[in-house]
């Protein structure tokens, strides 16, 4: 696991570096007649903001920059040679100055929204193309890590460090802006019973937006089973999903889905193969449908945001049928928000695998933003894995704090969970984690 983690970090550094240096390949050889810094300065220009006049002299490596260029562009593109001239050093060894300026710009980023995931290096790692079918390409990565301590009321304490998530994502948009695609790779191998490559590809889809308020997606994605079950892991309020979400949903499947978003309602309907992680071709079918109504959708947020919805997930796999029905309600008003979700299953095909058990559960969460960066949370979470068996419910009482240093791109997380089980020993869990989006 450690080796995979450090390899992923190296991949991210490489990708980050490729943005600073060039969109084209740079070959550094001692025999090159052109200086390395010339290639750096020439290729680091963004295609949409290239200077009207840039001249590089072979004698002194000076740069004539058009006065219409922005100050930030001047600092970034001339910092290498200017620093070299002031200190009488070779420009090849002044790359640190340009990197320092980039780091300073990232440090000064103001990211306040927490409902979307905005990577720290979004601008630096977004490539624009004048030719070809692609308009732009964004390469980024996500990391979630936590340290947990479990204290059972009877028994030994267990502490461990977990790399909960490593994702490498490639988002692209085609010319015209009507189609986009995503490739998401997961190099963390958590399934001992699966080959490495089967869960390696997570998101793998292309999406079209040619119809107003409507998108059509084809490929591997996270179906809309429940609200939190379909939610991105980068915007979750707690380190762990609720029990109904992680058991009955939170899995990716291959299929075709249609999503609509209007002021007073939205929907998500899809037909999928019941296979997960590309383990088999087509062991059965699955139909998922979800719809939300938004009664306050035309009030411009004056009275908050109210959403109520419900849906089903029905299918069969290897002659096992399953059916999950869910209901949801959520309300946001200024600094306060709350959500409630209930799920009832007669068999399921979610995160805990294919099952014919009759389960059900619910959770209710409340949150409050003390400041733009500090958020307090509380959740009650109940799950019955088999309704045919008495006294086997599992309950989790969670208190949490999120500190958003840079929105969801860099945040610190603390969760305390009291786990109450009808058939097992109760326990207390402390989790301290972080999320980094680059």
Mean pLDDT, to the nearest integer, of 289-306? 94
For 209, half-sphere exposure in the C-beta direction (CA atoms, 13 angstrom radius) is 11
User: Does the pLDDT value for residue 213 go beyond 80?
Assistant: yes
Q: 């309600």: which residue's tokens? A: 329
Mean pLDDT, to the nearest integer, of 264-275? 95
- Beta carbons of 386 and 285 less than 8 angstroms apart: no
Distance CA(235)–CA(268), nearest Å, equals 19
- Beta carbons of 225 and 249 less than 8 angstroms apart: yes
Listed range (154-168, 188-202, 220-234, 293-307) with the worst mean pLDDT: 188-202
pLDDT tens digits for range 163-175:
889 999 999 999 9
Distance CA(328)–CA(309), nearest Å, equals 5
Domain boundary assignment for the chain:
2-107, 126-437
Q: What is the pTM of this model?
A: 0.76
Please give the pLDDT value at position 154.
Answer: 86
pLDDT tens digits for range 82-113:
555 555 555 555 677 777 777 787 778 888 88
User: Does the pLDDT value for residue 36 go beyond 70?
Assistant: no
User: Which CATH architecture group holds 126-437?
Assistant: Beta Barrel (2.40)
Please give the pLDDT value at position 31.
Answer: 40
User: Does the pLDDT value for residue 44 go beyond 60?
Assistant: no
Listed range (102-111, 135-144, 146-155) with the worst mean pLDDT: 102-111
> CB neighbours (10 Å) of residue 98?
23
Q: For the chain, how far is it from start to end, CA to CA, in angstroms?
A: 20
Structure confidence at residue 428 as a pLDDT band (50, 70, 90): very high
Average pLDDT of every residue of the chain: 82
Distance CA(60)–CA(53), nearest Å, equals 17
Structure confidence at residue 190 as a pLDDT band (50, 70, 90): low
Mean pLDDT, to the nearest integer, of 107-134? 90
User: Does the pLDDT value for residue 431 go beyond 70?
Assistant: yes
């Amino acid at each position: 696991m450690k080796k995979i983690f450090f390899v992923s970090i190296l991949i991210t550094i490489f990708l980050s570096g490729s943005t600073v240096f060039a969109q084209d390949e740079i070959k550094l050889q001692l025999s090159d007649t052109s200086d390395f810094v010339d290639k750096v300065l020439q290729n680091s220009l963004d295609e949409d903001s290239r200077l009207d006049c840039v001249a590089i002299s072979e004698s002194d490596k000076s740069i004539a920059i058009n006065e219409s260029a922005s100050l930030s562009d001047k600092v970034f593109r001339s910092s290498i040679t200017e620093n070299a001239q002031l200190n009488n050093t070779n420009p090849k060894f002044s790359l640190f100055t340009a990197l320092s300026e980039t780091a300073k710009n990232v440090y000064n980023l103001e990211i306040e929204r927490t409902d979307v995931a905005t990577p720290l290096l979004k601008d630096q790692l977004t490539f624009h193309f004048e030719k070809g079918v692609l308009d732009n390409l964004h390469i980024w990565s996500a990391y979630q890590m936590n340290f947990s301590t479990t204290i059972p009321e009877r028994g030994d304490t267990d502490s461990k460090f977990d790399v909960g998530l490593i994702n490498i994502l490639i988002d692209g948009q085609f010319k015209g802006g009507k189609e986009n695609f995503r490739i998401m790779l997961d190099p963390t191998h958590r399934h001992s019973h699966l080959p490495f490559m089967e869960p390696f590809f997570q998101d793998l889809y292309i999406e079209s937006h040619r119809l107003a308020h409507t998108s059509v997606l084809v490929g591997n994605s996270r179906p809309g089973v429940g609200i939190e079950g379909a939610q991105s892991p980068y915007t979750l309020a707690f380190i762990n999903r609720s029990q109904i979400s992680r058991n009955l949903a939170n899995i990716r499947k291959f299929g075709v889905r249609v999503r609509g978003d209007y002021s007073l309602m939205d929907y998500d309907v899809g037909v999928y193969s019941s296979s997960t992680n590309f383990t088999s071709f087509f062991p059965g079918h699955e139909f998922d449908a979800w719809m939300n109504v938004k009664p306050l959708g035309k009030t411009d947020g004056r009275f908050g945001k109210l959403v109520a919805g419900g849906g089903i997930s029905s299918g069969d796999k290897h002659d096992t049928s399953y059916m999950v029905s869910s209901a949801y309600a959520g309300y946001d008003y200024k600094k306060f928000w709350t959500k409630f979700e209930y799920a009832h299953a007669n068999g399921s095909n979610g995160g805990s695998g294919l099952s014919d058990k009759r389960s059900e559960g619910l959770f209710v969460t409340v949150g409050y933003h003390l400041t733009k960066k500090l958020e307090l949370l509380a959740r009650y979470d109940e799950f019955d894995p088999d309704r045919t068996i008495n006294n086997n419910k599992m309950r989790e009482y969670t208190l949490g704090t999120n500190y958003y240093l840079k929105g969801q791109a860099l945040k610190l997380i603390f969760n305390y969970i009291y786990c109450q089980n009808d058939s097992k020993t109760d326990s207390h869990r402390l989790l301290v984690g972080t999320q980094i989006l680059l």
